[in-house]
Amino acid sequence: MSFSPLFTGSPTPQDKDLATLSNYLDARTTHIDLDWAIDWEKKIIGGSATVTLEATKDVGEVVLDTSYLDVQGVEVDGAKAEYSLDERIAGMGSALHVTLPKSVKSGQHVAIKVSYWTTPECTAVGWLEPVQTKSGKYPYLYSQSQAIHARSLLPCQDTPAIKATYAAKVRSVLPVLLSGLRQSPKPEEKWVPGKEVEYVYDQPVAIPSYLIAIASGELVYRPFKQLEGRKWRSGAWTEPLMMDEAYWEFSEDTARFVAAAEDYTSEYRFGVYDILFLPESFPYGGMENACLTFATPTVIAHDRSSVDLAAHEIAHSWFGNGIGCASWSHFWLNEGWTTYLERLCMRKIYGEPARQLSYTVGRKGLKEDLALNKDKTRFQRMVVEYNAHEDPDEAYNQVPYEKGSNFLLHLERTVGGLDHFLPYMKDYDRTFSGTSITTGQWRSHLFHFFGNQPNGQEYLRALGKVDWDEWLHGAGPDLCVDMQYDDTLSKPCADLAEKWNAARDDAQLSKFSPKDIESFITAQKLVFLDNLEALRFYRVALKSGKEYAEDAAEWVTNKGRMKFCRPIYRLLNQQTPELARKTFLKHAAFYHPIARKMIAKDLGVEV
């Protein structure tokens, strides 16, 4: 049975990335050089981006993605070149057409230098005033480019199908971090306020455009203890006033998670694994930017209960950053595999019951998101059929994470357990690392691997019984298979919740005490509260009326993580639409452009 990991033939609608305007199938970016300066007064970043491409066919034009960029000039191989910008397409930006002075033959390279500045409409970068930081002394900026916002930071082929190395020089009066290896100055070097410094970075591992990331502000570094026998180093970046608590929270487990992921897959390739803990406006729990995970400060819980976020972002080093999806239709290959590996890392450190409990918690979140998308069934599917020029942010939910990881757990059980599945996972990593693939390529490799084992026919018969179409393309309120999980840790939570739900008077309530949950880990407490339907106070309170609307409105004004702010704004909008819209419009500048756009859509307002 022959197998080739390379794509051949004409792409299907799900294989070709419909969210890019670039001609990435004609020429592929291999390297990007960035030469930037940060203008803190105008809140823009600019200079130049030199994009080196290899032609995959004879081409006379290169088309790059841009969005809200102020393009000032283009050069091709050092000479001034003709270019044009198309009219803007909502969500997609404007295609930048660069005419090549002569046709570039297949296999040849061409370097396109674009001089430009970002604009205040840039959707990738959040700019914060000093008052929005811990010390209140200095401004701050950070980027969030996934899914298709890198094009508002630099001209590029903004698609996960393309991976490229990059290098950068950035001049700023505040410390700068990038998703690469710092060349100068050293992380420990003391920063002098007001002095402009050139920060030099290199990313020698090819990554997709959405992983090119920048942050700048009053930032300090503290290394974690290096594990013996491991080549990489790890540490924390934060504002000075947040360092002690962030370091305590994540110094114990982060390096252990990287080591666990290595043991399950292959050597960590990025050299450095640091975590930057951002201000409260960051819209996600975490973002797996290469070498430098961006994390919400909400995971600093002071009990190490949210360190699984680090396990998840670390796992992306192999799935997403390593093996990526060829288009956003196959996003589950990034997140499903990452969640699966994250839970294996939890298993290695905390035991199999902890992995099973994580599936239990995740299943509930999946069903909530499936219910929210009941009128958009294509967003309930693992392989999403996008329309042309449709923003992938519209489909962001728990399906690729939880349906994807449960599918892999189902396949693990189908082939006979971890002893059989882990060798396959290592071979999958070895075969595709550094590439971007489709679900079809993943499935072909799965059958190829197991079909070539000594008892291959038995494996193939078992895999043949899997309902592939329902898993990959089916919709509905839950998984297509009623997955069962070990209830060693979840059953005590459910039993206690059942007793609470059965209690109806003070006499009955007196039999409960804090001792009932003193042995529970934090995840168990969440399962307990989930069973009481009381996980989030304001989510419960707002469903019952307007009594706590003002309190909820005040609470949400400094919660930028979309997992928290979007549900509260939706519920406020149901109870008191005027208050919801007034609150949001007053504080819209606090939220990152991605969150701002999604909340505005939820509330039916324009910003």
pLDDT value at 8 more than 70: no
Q: Determine what percent of the chain falls in helix, strand and coil, rounding each to the nearest 5.
A: 40, 20, 40
Which range, of 22-26, 425-429, 440-444, 488-492, averages the lowest pLDDT?
A: 488-492
Query: Which residues have a Cβ under 8 Å from the Cβ of 51 and sit 6 or more positions away?
Result: 29, 31, 32, 64, 111, 112, 113, 114, 155, 156, 157
Q: Is 410 annotated among the ligand-binding residues?
A: no
Residue boundaries of the structural domains of the chain: 27-208, 219-317, 346-488, 490-532, 537-603
Q: Is 402 annotated among the ligand-binding residues?
A: no
The mean pLDDT value for 284-289 works out to 92
pLDDT value at 305 more than 90: no
Q: How confident is the model at residue 4 (pLDDT cuts 50, 70, 90)?
A: very low
Tell me the pLDDT tens digit for each residue of 382-423.
Answer: 999 999 999 999 898 999 999 999 999 999 999 999 999 999
Our answer to whether residue 401 is catalytic in this structure is yes
Our answer to whether residue 129 is catalytic in this structure is no
Residue 145: left if φ>0, alpha if ψ -120 to 50, beta else—which one? alpha
Architecture of domain 537-603: Alpha Horseshoe (1.25)
Q: Is 363 annotated among the ligand-binding residues?
A: no
The pTM score is 0.90
Instruction: Write down the residue that tokens 């409960």 correspond to.
Output: 512
Q: Is 72 annotated among the ligand-binding residues?
A: no
- The rounded distance, in Å, linking the Cα atoms of 120 and 45 is 10
More confident call, 388 vs 505: 388
pLDDT of residue 593: 85
Q: How confident is the model at residue 505 (pLDDT cuts 50, 70, 90)?
A: low
CA distances from 17 to 131, 339, 362, 397 (A): 40, 23, 29, 19
Q: Is 312 annotated among the ligand-binding residues?
A: yes
Tell me the pLDDT tens digit for each residue of 202-251.
Answer: 999 999 999 999 999 999 999 999 899 999 999 999 999 999 999 999 99
More confident call, 40 vs 501: 40
- The rounded distance, in Å, linking the Cα atoms of 476 and 399 is 11
pLDDT of residue 528: 84
Tell me the pLDDT tens digit for each residue of 348-393.
Answer: 999 999 999 999 999 988 998 899 888 899 999 999 999 999 999 9
Assess if CATH 1.10.390.10 describes domain 346-488.
yes
pLDDT of residue 571: 85
Q: Is 283 annotated among the ligand-binding residues?
A: yes
Given the residues 24, 210, 268, 401, select the one marked as catalytic.
401
Tell me the pLDDT tens digit for each residue of 269-283.
Answer: 999 999 999 998 887
pLDDT value at 120 more than 70: yes
Q: How confident is the model at residue 537 (pLDDT cuts 50, 70, 90)?
A: low
Given the residues 262, 313, 402, 412, select the one marked as catalytic.
313
Q: What is the mean pLDDT of the chain?
A: 92
- The rounded distance, in Å, linking the Cα atoms of 216 and 214 is 7
CATH number of 219-317: 3.30.2010.30
Q: Is 223 annotated among the ligand-binding residues?
A: no
Q: Is 302 annotated among the ligand-binding residues?
A: no
pLDDT of residue 538: 60
As a three-state string, the secondary structure of 520-545 is: CCHHHHHHHHHHHCCCCHHHHHHHHC
pLDDT of residue 533: 58
pLDDT value at 526 more than 80: no
Q: Is 10 annotated among the ligand-binding residues?
A: no
Q: Is 484 annotated among the ligand-binding residues?
A: no
Architecture of domain 27-208: Sandwich (2.60)
